[in-house]
Amino acid sequence: MIACQSLCAQTGIRPAREFHEDTSLTITLQELRHAVPREAQAEMEKAYKAALRHQAEQEREHLEKAVLIDPEYVAARNNLGVCLMPIEPASAIAQLEEAIRVDPHKGLLYNNLAIAYVVIHNLEAAERAARMAMEIDRTTNRARGLLGFVLYQEHKYTAEASTLLERASEEYSTAHVFAAHVLLKRGDLQKARTHIQAYLSSGEMEYHEDASEMLDFIDHMGQTRDSWPEQF
């Protein structure tokens, strides 16, 4: 789930906290046409303030109220889905699917739905959702990174997977690690080494041990893909 955290995003009001920024430039017709009631907006504001105070339960409660006031408040449903994902992934999927029913042209919704499906290990559904996110938001590294990560999880070590992860690594450092994994499976040790070094230079620590082991293996063993240890 760590790899997905930087690809999961909330939306709605103000620049949100780390790992939940909305960088999508897509504004849909539903967003332009739908008038959110003032009471629902107030609950969204309260949810934002609760999030800043790291009050997860209160944040969820305010988002639930916002959705209850305005069932077509897509931003609130999306944010609620993100909040529910770590604790009630099935409920998160329900919220995100309903948001997509209301607004099927928002790529971020498919992005978050794909992550929710990864959480419950339904990778086939995750790939479908990730491809929809890519179709809508073709130029975002978030969509590229997510689809690449899902393909990696499915053991689809294809040229598509490596290309997507390499492009995403320009913005998301963790993509370097998964790009390296795919490239190693494809036998491109030199390119994999470049991505591992880039990750180790990024300052991120989540996959530091894994990356260090891969780099040590390449530098000291010089093995080929056929003899690459199964854990990589």
The per-residue pLDDT for 219 is 81
pTM of the model: 0.86
Tell me how many helices (H) and strands (E) the chain has.
13, 0
The per-residue pLDDT for 217 is 79
With a cut of 70, which residues of the chain have pLDDT below it?
1-9, 11-26, 220-232
Q: Are 183 and 162 in contact (CB under 8 A)?
A: yes
178 C-beta neighbours (distance < 10 Å), count: 27
Domains parsed from the chain with CATH numbers: 2-156 (1.25.40.10), 165-232 (no CATH)
The per-residue pLDDT for 29 is 87
Q: Return d(Cα 6, Cα 79) in angstroms, integer.
A: 15
> Nearest Cα to 106, choosing from 202, 10, 209?
10
User: 83-105: per-residue pLDDT in tens?
Assistant: 999 999 999 999 999 999 999 99
Residue 98 phi/psi, 5-degree rounding, is -70, -40
User: 178-211: per-residue pLDDT in tens?
Assistant: 999 999 999 899 999 999 999 999 999 989 999 9
User: Tokens 């969820």 label which residue?
Assistant: 60
61 C-beta neighbours (distance < 10 Å), count: 17
45 C-beta neighbours (distance < 10 Å), count: 15
The per-residue pLDDT for 21 is 40
